[in-house]
Amino acid sequence: MARNRAIVCFGELLLRLNAPGRERLLQSQRLDVHVGGAEANVAVSLAQFGHEARFASVVADNALGEAALGELRRYGVDVSPVARASGRMGLYFMASGATRRPSEIIYDRAGSVFAEAGEETLDWPAILDGAGWLHVSGVTPAVGPKPAAAALKAVRTAKECGVKVSFDGNYRAQLWAAWGGDGPAILRRILACADLAFINERDVGLVLGRDFPRDEAGRRAAFAAAFEAFPGLELIAATRRRQHSVDHHALTAVLATRDGGERRSREWDLSGVVDRIGAGDAFAAGTLRGLIAGHDHRHTVEFAAAAAALKHSMPGDFNIATVADVERALAEDDLDVRR
Amino acid sequence: MARNRAIVCFGELLLRLNAPGRERLLQSQRLDVHVGGAEANVAVSLAQFGHEARFASVVADNALGEAALGELRRYGVDVSPVARASGRMGLYFMASGATRRPSEIIYDRAGSVFAEAGEETLDWPAILDGAGWLHVSGVTPAVGPKPAAAALKAVRTAKECGVKVSFDGNYRAQLWAAWGGDGPAILRRILACADLAFINERDVGLVLGRDFPRDEAGRRAAFAAAFEAFPGLELIAATRRRQHSVDHHALTAVLATRDGGERRSREWDLSGVVDRIGAGDAFAAGTLRGLIAGHDHRHTVEFAAAAAALKHSMPGDFNIATVADVERALAEDDLDVRR
Amino acid sequence: MARNRAIVCFGELLLRLNAPGRERLLQSQRLDVHVGGAEANVAVSLAQFGHEARFASVVADNALGEAALGELRRYGVDVSPVARASGRMGLYFMASGATRRPSEIIYDRAGSVFAEAGEETLDWPAILDGAGWLHVSGVTPAVGPKPAAAALKAVRTAKECGVKVSFDGNYRAQLWAAWGGDGPAILRRILACADLAFINERDVGLVLGRDFPRDEAGRRAAFAAAFEAFPGLELIAATRRRQHSVDHHALTAVLATRDGGERRSREWDLSGVVDRIGAGDAFAAGTLRGLIAGHDHRHTVEFAAAAAALKHSMPGDFNIATVADVERALAEDDLDVRR
Amino acid sequence: MARNRAIVCFGELLLRLNAPGRERLLQSQRLDVHVGGAEANVAVSLAQFGHEARFASVVADNALGEAALGELRRYGVDVSPVARASGRMGLYFMASGATRRPSEIIYDRAGSVFAEAGEETLDWPAILDGAGWLHVSGVTPAVGPKPAAAALKAVRTAKECGVKVSFDGNYRAQLWAAWGGDGPAILRRILACADLAFINERDVGLVLGRDFPRDEAGRRAAFAAAFEAFPGLELIAATRRRQHSVDHHALTAVLATRDGGERRSREWDLSGVVDRIGAGDAFAAGTLRGLIAGHDHRHTVEFAAAAAALKHSMPGDFNIATVADVERALAEDDLDVRR
Amino acid sequence: MARNRAIVCFGELLLRLNAPGRERLLQSQRLDVHVGGAEANVAVSLAQFGHEARFASVVADNALGEAALGELRRYGVDVSPVARASGRMGLYFMASGATRRPSEIIYDRAGSVFAEAGEETLDWPAILDGAGWLHVSGVTPAVGPKPAAAALKAVRTAKECGVKVSFDGNYRAQLWAAWGGDGPAILRRILACADLAFINERDVGLVLGRDFPRDEAGRRAAFAAAFEAFPGLELIAATRRRQHSVDHHALTAVLATRDGGERRSREWDLSGVVDRIGAGDAFAAGTLRGLIAGHDHRHTVEFAAAAAALKHSMPGDFNIATVADVERALAEDDLDVRR
Amino acid sequence: MARNRAIVCFGELLLRLNAPGRERLLQSQRLDVHVGGAEANVAVSLAQFGHEARFASVVADNALGEAALGELRRYGVDVSPVARASGRMGLYFMASGATRRPSEIIYDRAGSVFAEAGEETLDWPAILDGAGWLHVSGVTPAVGPKPAAAALKAVRTAKECGVKVSFDGNYRAQLWAAWGGDGPAILRRILACADLAFINERDVGLVLGRDFPRDEAGRRAAFAAAFEAFPGLELIAATRRRQHSVDHHALTAVLATRDGGERRSREWDLSGVVDRIGAGDAFAAGTLRGLIAGHDHRHTVEFAAAAAALKHSMPGDFNIATVADVERALAEDDLDVRR
């Protein structure tokens, strides 16, 4: 695996406008602002882990775009590959749920500069120069035809340049429907370039046009089908979440290899969840970190699951945990105040 | 039942001044303000459910009274029947509890314009014109002799006009004692006009001067006694709450008919409770909504209990859940983030 | 003039997302939310003055649209003519300036449900039924071809129904350019229907394709030209603002009649300006209130200018001053604390 | 003069609930809480100046009363003479003004435990034991017949015990009218016991039933009349305020002796006023501090005026300036940041 | 035991700067400020219980020192024994944890005025005059050689004056290491003067240079060893905490006598923990309150454990519970809202 | 001049803990956090102007140090030359003044990791590699003997490497006194290396041991003396500030050359000052930007003065104005809202 080389993350950068505390949207007249986006979250987490993370995107050439980039820089991400364009930032509004009321998100990302940027906007050979990995999620091509073309261009350039490709499923039927894109076809082309995929039985089913049961057997069958369909794929990782209530979850993870081998993490009991957004991205970053650091799969899946678990304790989209934070959580010897 | 006709709610509108987060009162120098009051809460919930809710009351003719009305208007309640008078608004101060420290309320409602308003202040035939229901709680007559007279006038006018009467027990010994009112006698007169009552074995015992055990058998006996004492009463509804801790409750509900029939809701496990104030009012609104919509009793009690359960997730007195919110909670298929 | 009859305001309802205090945008991670929009501001102010104000618009059928409407209801505006549609709300981000740094606004309103709503969305004869005035600003047609068509339909329907038309210039070159609309031509058609116009020498110049000096003589010449070009126009009103610094302004107003008569208000010295957004709308509402109440022009222009002046003391877009507030400001006897 | 001996302040302790920033009341859903009351403000300022200040009052025996007392203790006031009683605290709601919109106060103090406390509640000989001064304002007797009786009892006991009496006019017609008290008669009886009075031509006119012009000549005539009417009165002090705008004032003060001598302070130009409430109380405390410290009248009036001026820079009712703060303001050598 | 006599608490007063809510440190640009310190917390709790609590310390002679003292005065602590010195206040920064992320503290107390104050700074005979108890924790001598000398001087003066000594272990290896102090030796000298000690098997092991198992048997053996090593010691008290998650704990307490007798409290199940800092100090205060009030050991340990349990529901270091609050928690009849 | 080459800024990075709004320190229980320090402020401003700014310093290896660096990264500063060390961050507490109450700062920077870092900590040849300028202020050597040695090493290495040196006087007698450093001698050695100095007659007088009048003539004499004493010095720049009140200042600037030439900026009238901290640093950055961009001196001094003026409108230490912002302020055509 490519050690100590940059990871390039490509995707849209979003502003999240969140009702304070457990209020419903605009119940009071304030919004808390976070910056996020599936691939940006991965970049931040990897930078916090001490890796060189580059973020490639297109943002608005105004105070909002600059502020969003500023948040990435703050957490150590190299944003030099980001282009600016005249237009609007993608937004999402969120009300954090409680008890039996789920969190709610209203997306407002149509017509963003990212969605409108042509595939020529980013110079992929330059961006990928010296990189070890390219990470992209299924949200990026779903945003529109131009991002879809750009995502394909990115993963294909990566393959040509010997940069490994990490892909996070994140199938969003709603986004695909909005512009009539053929999601499964496009995702198949991306997966054909991927070395590592974060997908579960639902994602595989959608991409391959099959239906797998939503259980352990279904997941295994889906993984096998994916390895068969995509011969370049070396690893598949996935988390499974059960929700006892809106703020009490259980989380476990699995890392599977082409040869049928699987490593499962411990199950994390997560009560008093603060913010679950970005947990999947934290898991992806944790997995990539394990691979880059050359850890064995057992440690990699445990580290990645612990990273995802920790994310639930932090407000915002970013998992701003260090390697030391994650390893202390894994050690689990003491939950008392650290002085 | 009267479909699609207005529900009139009559009671005092209060300002709630709440310590932020889980602080004790004035631990820091800020208070969060909510608007509430048992009947106002019912009106807001019904308006959110899409019904025509009218609120009848008397508020101070100053910026506080206008702001309180503004909150009702904001949530779609028709406040045209509200009178203004010179004087003070009723207030209550609250510190939300946690862990093993219960929430605490300090009432400051003595001498309010509502308590001092003569029974002639509101023109009941006009207010009830075209209405299907009048809803009033036991708090209203307890506030003082004038509101007691007004409440009696309201329910009697309703009976004369063919408007059904909904009554929520809410026996407040402290308020009755403050002015020496004969609570049981007055409540009996109101219950004699009621078609629907939200009462439990404690309420029935107080009103009928009997003592029922605080258990399931006691409740059944109390319901039977109430149906016997008040021949016009068609339905009795009640919730039962168990508190594992200050922020972990279990809630269930029952809806009983004169013929001895009962429908019980599922039990809701409510951990991470945000704000339990107004849950009873949310239940009353949910029940009325079921009756107005012509649902069967099984659905009505499930809907009402789910409405009450959802209220625990929202700060403030109001249950600002829509019918869709409640039905999604009933469907209970997924507690994960809604996108 | 049409006394005591409803005023219909037609325009887009926007969410304003404001950096707290005097911070730049996203300097910290919070935004204060206000609701605004030129015509909505007029509606709120008129409702606060005790008039029946109806608001006609199209909002998103989600929590943001409902919350924005809730703010109008809160201040007493009748929002029953508002349609809902699937899509996004128009937004604007704002940083309030200070000292020598002007306030900055980033509009994010492209593609809003209002901009996309077809002219058939609103039923103008029903909306205008019983109304005395229709008020619309130059922002509405500038938003896009559909709102432009709707605005024309609205003013023409008003003329047909005998409803007077009030028009507020507000020429926004940037918006017109965005969709290539012929602003001057469309505004001429609207002005041809107007009884009252809030325009200055810049607006008249743009509409008539002439260039008037930006001084008192230029303004008089522009007014004369406007009266000549639009024979139905009875009154023109305008404010003039000088800014000593970002938070110290001087404001004066003029009201001119077709016969060349003019009434000028006193000059208001406004130091410590809190929020200048919506001052022009407050002026429009104040003028309409004077006309509706049948005041003479001298009082009307003084009242309107005082309303605009008061607006500078209130955060948000709305002038939530009552008639009594404005008259006390006019009386100007005492600026000390009112107890 | 009585050096280094305690000053007893007697009056109602109020909670002030203030709209944040420059918002109108309940424009948003938060209130900032301050503790105040004319005599409490004097006690806090004197304690900050290093004097022994005792506060005598009656507060509610609940969390609100305790919190209010806690604020006095925090600033070093001895609250041991305060009695508790069951009931409500006096409140006032306030919206801070701006530009041309004056600040507004809504009092909500009727029926407070202070207003209802019998004159026997406080043991005056014990409270005044060892004290050098008793300070009371005209608000205290205006609150109701019981406080009026208590105030008279307090000043008379002071006279008997050789404790000097300081009286601050503060005529509140509205409060007197509310219970039909004969304000002038009662204030005359209090002034007959006073050694020092903070009164102006309006106060003197009301008390003596005469009408003095509101100018410098009127003030001088009023002072002469007061010295004549109250032979025990040794000193009269007053401030004069001019308001250029809501947040730009000019303040000057005068200290007059029975022999016709007068000392005037410099005029303070106060722009960017933060909070003007309590400035008069800061002036009273500054004057008392000068007398207790044995300063000459010229220094006393300058110090007191500077104290009042400084108060305008601090949010809340209390002047939490030290002697060093006031003397630095008097020295006026540098307004730049103090490091 | 010494009833109704003052308890003197001696230690450093710290400012705690806390990230808001569950944020990590400086994730946003705000800090919430609390005042704390082991002995100050005990003093505040005892004052809230109605006892006379004196606090002896050294604080910075600036606005921060005064503000910290103000918080103690606010809660009724007598701070007259506190000396001022030029220099800095001790600080600690804290991020409250959640789910599986423990709370984190960064101490910044080196070089504080407390650490630098010579042992002659405080006049112990005067401070202890009339006191019944002196309470000091193991943090105080650990801060530096001068506080260590002062702590020894304090406890020895107490012994000479017949004032009982209460000692709370709180072994902080990091602080001792910072200045190379011989912690065990110094703590032995303090324990030799103690009548009451709050220590567990870890503390005893460190002080006596032995190793006790971290279980019930180890604790018993440690207590026996402590009673043997320190013949003046009459009572040992300790809490035991299990943490199911960062915000779900179980707490129990034990009070042991020299004769081998032990009283154990019930176990408290504490879910939804708000703030666990200061729970040990709340326990110490509860124990002292029981001893001073002359309660039997069974009641004392139950009261103290309940006090510690309640502390978990309150933000900040202080347990601002009254005796009534604790007794209601013990009665445990109802966790519902108290009206 | 060195165009388009990096500017290295060397100094301490501080956390500023500010009372909210215009409160005094800890009047309420919150602090707003900003990051600052004279040289860091210059680096941020230059990065906002689009230049490559490097920051060299030593920060604590904890969450506070990382967060402070994060703020610099956020605004585009290259912090790769920053070393980490175990210990504390320098802090300062601030209360923003108002009206006649000056702002107050309490420094708490003694014993910081920056003050304790040996001169070998930073590898100057590597840090200065490729740089055009080194900027350092007089605060850095004043912090202690180690920073003084480091500052000398830095400027001497710069001279050797052909990197121009910019020095900002900022004489802080208090800091020099704290460790007994010979400020004038050390500053002379630094000035001997400087190409550009931000000094006024007070600084020159202190450094040269002479006394210049604090007026225009004195300033000219001081500049001449400085040019004579330091033959390498090419340019001297200074601002002059007059304060009408705490929040109303007038600011002007001068840029002088060795040949006696002077360019003066316009005078800026700054009312409604938000935050004056960092204005001098904004001026230094503006001057450096002019020199780097190759502007003439007239434009350079106007730009720099405008940058300093703009800073007064922004909360915090940083001038986050872009070149476009400054040029718009210079154009001064319109202070109204920018849309």
Q: Are A86 and A122 in contact (CB under 8 A)?
A: no
Question: Which of A264, A188, A169 has its CA nearest to residue A228?
Answer: A188
pLDDT at C222: 98
Residue A213: CB partners within 8 Å, gap ≥ 6?
A201, A221
Confidence of residue A174 (pLDDT cuts 50, 70, 90): confident
Say which amino acid occupies B143: V
* Residues facing residue C17 across a β-bridge: C33, C93
Residue F330: CB partners within 8 Å, gap ≥ 6?
F302, F303, F306
Cα–Cα distance, A28 to D30 (Å, whole number) = 9
Largest CA distance in chain C: 55
Q: What's the whole-number mean pLDDT along residues D49-61?
A: 98
Q: Are A169 and A200 in contact (CB under 8 A)?
A: yes
Tens of pLDDT, residue by residue over A290-314, are 999 999 999 999 999 999 999 999 9
Q: Helix, strand, coil proportions of chain E in percent (round to 5)?
A: 40, 25, 35
pLDDT in tens for each of the 339 residues of chain F? Answer: 444 699 999 999 999 999 999 999 999 999 999 999 999 999 999 999 999 999 999 999 999 999 999 999 999 999 999 999 999 999 999 999 999 999 999 999 999 999 999 989 999 999 999 999 999 999 999 999 999 999 999 999 999 999 999 999 998 888 999 999 999 999 999 999 999 999 999 999 999 999 999 999 999 999 999 999 999 999 999 999 999 999 999 999 999 999 999 999 999 999 999 999 999 999 999 999 999 999 999 999 999 999 999 999 999 999 999 999 999 999 977 899 998
Q: CATH number, domain at B250? A: 3.40.1190.20
pLDDT at A68: 98
Q: Is residue B337 assigned to a domain?
A: no
A27:B336 CB<8 A: no
Name residue, tokens 């998100």: A105
C334:D24 CB<8 A: no
Q: What's the whole-number mean pLDDT along residues D274-288?
A: 98
State whether the Cα torsion E15-E19-E22-E25 is positive or negative. negative
Query: In terms of CA atoms, which chain C residue is nearest residue A67?
Result: C26
Q: Is A244 exposed, middle or buried (0-12, 13-18, 19+ CB in 10 A)?
A: middle
Residue E3 predicted with pLDDT over 80? no
Q: What's the whole-number mean pLDDT along residues E39-47?
A: 98
Q: Is residue E338 assigned to a domain?
A: no
Task: Return contacts of D251-255, CB within 8 angstroms, 24+ apart.
Answer: D251/D279, D251/D305, D251/D308, D251/D309, D251/D312, D252/D305, D253/D283, D253/D301, D253/D304, D253/D305, D253/D308, D254/D219, D254/D301, D255/D287, D255/D297, D255/D300, D255/D301, D255/D304
Tens of pLDDT, residue by residue over A30-52, are 999 999 999 999 999 999 999 99
Beta strands D14-18 and D30-36: pairing type? antiparallel
State the Cα angle at C70 between C64 and C72, rounded to 5°.
115
Task: Determine the distance from the C-alpha atom of residue C68 to the mean position of all C-alpha atoms in its chain, rounded to a whole number.
Answer: 17
Q: Are D285 and D38 in contact (CB under 8 A)?
A: no
Say which amino acid occupies B139: V
Query: In terms of CA atoms, which chain A residue is nearest residue D27?
Result: A29
Cα–Cα distance, A36 to A39 (Å, whole number) = 8
Q: Helix, strand, coil proportions of chain F in percent (round to 5)?
A: 40, 25, 35
pLDDT at D339: 86
C101:F269 CB<8 A: no
Question: Which of B88, B57, B133, B107 has its CA nearest to residue B277?
Answer: B107
Cα–Cα distance, B13 to A195 (Å, whole number) = 63
Task: Report percent pLDDT > 90 for chain E.
Answer: 95
Alpha-carbon separation of residue D18 from C88, D22, D162 (angstroms): 36, 10, 40
Q: Is residue B49 assigned to a domain?
A: yes
Tokens read off for E165: 């000594």
Residue F9: CB partners within 8 Å, gap ≥ 6?
F39, F40, F42, F43, F46, F53, F54, F55, F56, F134, F135, F136
Task: Give E-chain residues touching C29 at CB under 8 angstroms.
Answer: 28-29
Using CB atoms, which chains have 3+ pairs under 8 A with B? A, C, D, E, F
Provide the number of structural domains found in chain C: 1
Q: Is residue C266 assigned to a domain?
A: yes
Q: What's the whole-number mean pLDDT along residues A315-335?
A: 94
pLDDT at A4: 67
Residue E195: CB partners within 8 Å, gap ≥ 6?
E164, E165, E166, E232, E233, E234, E235
Tens of pLDDT, residue by residue over E136-192, are 999 999 999 999 999 999 999 999 999 999 999 998 888 999 999 999 999 999 999
Question: Which of D148, D97, D157 has its CA nearest to residue D128?
Answer: D157
Task: Give D-chain residues touching F100 at CB under 8 angstroms.
Answer: 268, 270, 309-310, 312-313, 329, 332, 335
Mean pLDDT computed over every residue of chain E:
96
Tokens read off for B268: 């809701």
Q: What sections of C16-144 are H helices per DSSP? A: 38-48, 63-74, 113-116, 124-128, 139-142
Cα–Cα distance, C192 to F87 (Å, whole number) = 75
End-to-end CA distance of chain C: 37
Task: Give F-chain residues touching A75 at CB under 8 angstroms.
Answer: 70, 73
**φ/ψ (deg, to 5) at C287:** -65, -45
C90 three-state secondary structure? strand
E272:B245 CB<8 A: yes
Confidence of residue E132 (pLDDT cuts 50, 70, 90): very high
Task: Give F-chain residues touching A76 at CB under 8 angstroms.
Answer: 70, 73
State the Cα angle at B109 between B106 and B114, rounded to 5°.
155
Q: Are E316 and E275 in contact (CB under 8 A)?
A: yes
Q: DSSP labels for F239-263?
A: EEEEEEETTEEEEEEEEEETTS-EE
Residue B137: CB partners within 8 Å, gap ≥ 6?
B11, B38, B39, B167, B168, B169, B170
State whether the Cα torsion F20-F26-F28-F30 is positive or negative. positive
Q: Is residue E318 assigned to a domain?
A: yes
Tokens read off for C215: 């001084």
Residue C265 predicted with pLDDT over 50? yes
pLDDT at A334: 84
Q: Are F46 and F2 in contact (CB under 8 A)?
A: no
Closest-CA distance of chain A to residue C109, Å: 9
Q: Is residue A337 assigned to a domain?
A: no
E263 three-state secondary structure? strand
Tens of pLDDT, residue by residue over C39-91, are 999 999 999 999 999 999 999 999 999 999 999 999 999 999 999 999 999 99
Q: What sections of chain B are H helices per DSSP? A: 38-48, 63-74, 113-116, 124-128, 139-142, 145-161, 173-179, 183-191, 201-208, 216-229, 279-293, 297-311, 323-331
Task: Confirm or reject contact between B239 and chain E (CB < 8 A).
Answer: no
pLDDT in tens for each of the 339 residues of chain B? Answer: 444 689 999 999 999 999 999 999 999 999 999 999 999 999 999 999 999 999 999 999 999 999 999 999 999 999 999 999 999 999 999 999 999 999 999 999 999 999 999 989 999 999 999 999 999 999 999 999 999 999 999 999 999 999 999 999 998 888 999 999 999 999 999 999 999 999 999 999 999 999 999 999 999 999 999 999 999 999 999 999 999 999 999 999 999 999 999 999 999 999 999 999 999 999 999 999 999 999 999 999 999 999 999 999 999 999 999 999 999 999 977 899 998
Mean pLDDT computed over every residue of chain B:
96
Say which amino acid occupies E56: A
pLDDT at B1: 40
pLDDT at A50: 97
pLDDT at D2: 42
User: Whole-model pTM?
Assistant: 0.96
End-to-end CA distance of chain E: 38
Residue C2 predicted with pLDDT over 60? no
Q: What's the whole-number mean pLDDT along residues C301-309?
A: 98
Residue C4 predicted with pLDDT over 70? no
Question: Which of F147, F55, F136, F138 has its CA nearest to residue F110?
Answer: F147
**Which residues numbered 189-228 in F keep a CB inside 8 Å of some CB on D?**
none
Tens of pLDDT, residue by residue over C191-212, are 999 999 999 999 999 999 999 9
User: Which structural domain range is residue C182 located in?
Assistant: 6-12+37-57+124-324
C106:A30 CB<8 A: no
Residue E18: CB partners within 8 Å, gap ≥ 6?
E31, E32, E33, E34, E93, E94, E95, E96
Q: Is residue E108 assigned to a domain?
A: yes
Confidence of residue D1 (pLDDT cuts 50, 70, 90): very low
**Which residues numbered 24-83 in F keep a CB inside 8 Å of some CB on B?**
28-29
Say which amino acid occupies A291: L
Cα–Cα distance, F296 to F300 (Å, whole number) = 6
Task: Give A-chain residues touching E21 at CB under 8 angstroms.
Answer: 21, 315
pLDDT at C224: 98
pLDDT at B4: 67
C106:A62 CB<8 A: yes
Tokens read off for F22: 């215009």
Task: Determine the distance from the C-alpha atom of residue D32 to the mean position of all C-alpha atoms in its chain, rounded to a whole number.
Answer: 22
Q: Is residue C315 assigned to a domain?
A: yes
Task: Confirm or reject contact between F98 and chain E (CB < 8 A).
Answer: no
Question: Which of A289, F5, A251, E275 has its CA nearest to residue B22?
Answer: E275
Cα–Cα distance, C154 to E100 (Å, whole number) = 60
